[in-house]
Amino acid sequence: MGSVISAIAGLIGAVVNGIANFIMGIVSGIAYVFIAIFDVIFDILCCRCGSRSRRRRTTSSGTYRTSRTSGRRWGSRRY
């Protein structure tokens, strides 16, 4: 009689464990999607679309210029 009750308890434990793992997988997937969405939004808003190499410099007239290449000076040309 004890072995039957032990087997039933093991079965119930396995079913509960399976349901819990399934729910944890769903919650983990939803959390992953939300984190990815917020990561993209923050990249666009905070880092100007993820390009960190742009710098703003002030010209003599007080306006801003944006450097697209980080290693070159404004007067140098490409040949």
Which pTM value belongs to this model? 0.49
User: Where are the chain's structural domains?
Assistant: 2-67
Instruction: Give the span between the Cα atoms of 68 and 79, in whole angstroms.
Output: 17
Instruction: Give the span between the Cα atoms of 74 and 79, in whole angstroms.
Output: 15
* 13-65 pLDDT per residue, tens: 999 999 999 999 999 999 999 999 998 888 888 776 555 555 555 555 655 55
| pLDDT value of position 17 | 97
Place of tokens 């980080």: 70
Q: DSSP string spanning 15-67?
A: HHHHHHHHHHHHHHHHHHHHHHHHHHHHHHHHTTTT----EEEE-TTS-EEEE
